[in-house]
Chains A and B, each alone.
Chain A
């Protein structure tokens, strides 16, 4: 099913290989320039009318962000995840709030949490979740939440933490034999 659709679309759009996770869920790479046309065709022709989610993954080693548009065909119960890669140094995405008004909320969150710009999306630069945030966008991999919290908030003395591996090794093997 998903393979047929992929073969059908592959002729006109620059798509990567289909990664099938389940019978009704697959992921595919899409070139950023083709994204909008593909979304419109999926929505209007193939019945993928429901935007389940729009989120980003930070692949810091590869220097890029992955945007995932998870489209759902609610009649046939199939989901197709479109992966679009953005340059991490200057991440700019294309807004789709005119196709799905609810995407504006997702884009506001991505703008705030990953620092991905979506020019043209309504209220995208307003503060969404954080208030008075001065550091880098917190969902980026290079943001260290522990260091930030230790710098900003004071700890109460007496709190102990155990490394689970060391703790279990000590508990199961107290003499430290190998």
Chain B
């Protein structure tokens, strides 16, 4: 592999403490804002880059462009009124918020969802994970100049959104998971139509394998680039596919099974290289796991049964004082809700632990110095971050 190695002898040298003295007035540095209005940014956030030549010497992440103050708004709403806004925390994978919140409320109120609801919830979460991975694959392709990958993946995701629409009535924000269960049964013939979508997806993914993962340019630009040292995983709170790309076989679906994951058969996908290629590959292989899981769930789930447990009058629903933390494996890593109640009809505090909170802030700021400016977009996309869950 040919790599361009420029002459770095003219570059400013770091001081004794290893830190660069950055003085913009010397003319050796360039300040560049990567975002918020920029084609190479993952959502509405921005990275303030300081460049020396084509090398980034400092990166500061700025978030808050999507802040709506959800955690404050939830404190003003009754437990059932929170549901319409809770899914809006994370746009591409909203169902995870609904499940985490519903599970936390059920735990504190002592409600158990019926079995049919548990299976339906698992199905929805896997469909959401599939969608989220589709966006990630398209994003990785797009960030490296392969727009056609994004076109294919958006199309397949759209087919899955049709299934969501059929089941829940909405494309993006489903609000299907409520405390105590889910809103309804699967429609007639759902499994057959889902199988068509999955078959189409597999056809497109085979094309992606050919067009992307065997592409020489893609390999040259991703292998060995953006490596996260596995020793950094725990200090920086790296979870999910980003950690699995570094050989850490941790998956909350397997380690701490929630819903019905203990009755399903799947493996935890790992890679070892921990670079952009490995992170893309883990996601690519996890889509296969997700597809297999959706098939399994549809084959194994009970055909009929109650979907909603008996709830108290939700207008006068009070939950005794307590606190809990519910977490699950979303498509980006550990997604959790910390819920505190104080015996009134309103939550005392809801805190969302989004995986991007650590991935896009501390970790990205640590990884950026030393990368080439052309690789910053690919690095960010490979971490698969969504800004709304950082600032909420």
Docked-complex contact B250 and A51, CB < 8 angstroms = no
CA distance A55 to B338 in the complex (A): 9
What 0/1 readout, one digit per residue, does chain B (63-90) give for beta carbons within 8 Å of chain A? 1100101011101101001000000000
What 0/1 readout, one digit per residue, does chain B (203-239) give for beta carbons within 8 Å of chain A? 0000000000000000000000000000000111101
Distance in angstroms from B208 CB to nearest chain A CB is: 31
Whether, in the assembled complex, B169 has its beta carbon less than 8 Å from a beta carbon of chain A, the answer is no
Docked-complex contact B255 and A138, CB < 8 angstroms = no
Docked-complex contact B363 and A102, CB < 8 angstroms = yes
**331-360 of chain B: CB within 8 A of chain A:** 334, 336, 338, 340, 348-349, 351, 353, 357-358
**233-287 of chain B: CB within 8 A of chain A:** 234-237, 239, 250, 255-256
Docked-complex contact B237 and A51, CB < 8 angstroms = yes
Whether, in the assembled complex, B324 has its beta carbon less than 8 Å from a beta carbon of chain A, the answer is yes
| Nearest opposing residue in chain A for B351, CB measure | A55
Whether, in the assembled complex, B378 has its beta carbon less than 8 Å from a beta carbon of chain A, the answer is no
**64-117 of chain A: CB within 8 A of chain B:** 68, 70, 74, 77, 79, 81, 99-102, 104-106
Docked-complex contact A21 and B107, CB < 8 angstroms = yes
Contact partner of A105 among B235, B338, B357, CB < 8 A?
A: B357
Distance in angstroms from A87 CB to nearest chain B CB is: 18
Contact partner of B64 among A22, A24, A52, A131, CB < 8 A?
A: A131
Whether, in the assembled complex, A27 has its beta carbon less than 8 Å from a beta carbon of chain B, the answer is yes
| Nearest opposing residue in chain B for A25, CB measure | B325
Distance in angstroms from A95 CB to nearest chain B CB is: 14
Contact partner of B325 among A70, A105, A131, A168, CB < 8 A?
A: A70
Contact partner of B323 among A24, A81, A101, A143, CB < 8 A?
A: A81
Known: A102-B235, A102-B236. A79 touches B325 (CB 8 A): yes
Whether, in the assembled complex, B39 has its beta carbon less than 8 Å from a beta carbon of chain A, the answer is no
Docked-complex contact B315 and A101, CB < 8 angstroms = no
Docked-complex contact A101 and B236, CB < 8 angstroms = yes
What 0/1 readout, one digit per residue, does chain B (304-322) give for beta carbons within 8 Å of chain A? 0000000000011000001
How many cross-chain pairs have Cβ atoms below 8 Å apart between A and B? 94
CA distance A84 to B323 in the complex (A): 14
Distance in angstroms from A56 CB to nearest chain B CB is: 8
| Nearest opposing residue in chain B for A78, CB measure | B256
Size band of the interface chain B makes with A: 35 or more
Q: Which of A57, A101, A164 has the most CB of B within 10 A?
A: A101
Whether, in the assembled complex, A156 has its beta carbon less than 8 Å from a beta carbon of chain B, the answer is no
Docked-complex contact A58 and B67, CB < 8 angstroms = no
| Nearest opposing residue in chain B for A83, CB measure | B323
Docked-complex contact A57 and B348, CB < 8 angstroms = yes
Docked-complex contact B366 and A101, CB < 8 angstroms = yes
Whether, in the assembled complex, A130 has its beta carbon less than 8 Å from a beta carbon of chain B, the answer is yes
Docked-complex contact A25 and B362, CB < 8 angstroms = no
The 7 closest A-B pairs by CB, nearest first: A129-B64, A102-B362, A55-B351, A53-B353, A105-B361, A77-B256, A49-B234
Chain A contacts to B: CB under 8 angstroms: 21-22, 24-25, 27, 49-53, 55, 57-58, 68, 70, 74, 77, 79, 81, 99-102, 104-106, 127-131, 138-139, 141, 143, 145-146, 164-165, 168
Excluding A52-B353, A143-B72, 14 further A-B contacts by CB distance (< 8 Å) are A21-B322, A21-B323, A53-B336, A53-B351, A53-B353, A57-B349, A77-B255, A102-B363, A105-B357, A105-B361, A128-B64, A131-B64, A139-B71, A145-B76
